[in-house]
Amino acid sequence: MTDIVKSKNGIRIRMTEERWFHITENHDDLAGYYDDVLDCIENPDIIIKGYSGALIALKKISDNKFLSVVYKETDEDDGFIITAYFTNKLKLEKEETIWKK
């Protein structure tokens, strides 16, 4: 099983079964959020710069809670999801914004 969504740059981003297993093993609170993780790539509220060329798509869940999906665009036609997690420890003013809704 591999699902593919398009990033804001129009690049195909893959979610493999192995990655989803990794995400839910390390962040069990995301177990029922598969579709939300994919939607966060396609319809983020904001995208910030991550480490080592990764991007982080953010979707606001509540006043101070975000769904964060870390992904990498490897070339102009391919990319993959690295991980996902919920966070409330986000200081957007300190982050480099790549894209905003």
pLDDT in tens, 55-92: 999 999 998 899 999 999 999 999 999 999 999 988 88
- How far is the C-alpha of 61 from the C-alpha of 75, rounded, in Å? 30
Confidence of residue 7 (pLDDT cuts 50, 70, 90): very high
pLDDT in tens, 20-64: 999 999 999 999 999 999 999 999 999 999 999 999 999 999 988
pTM for this model (two decimals)? 0.95
CATH class of 2-100: alpha beta
- How far is the C-alpha of 23 from the C-alpha of 78, rounded, in Å? 20
Residues 6+ apart with CB under 8 A from 63: none
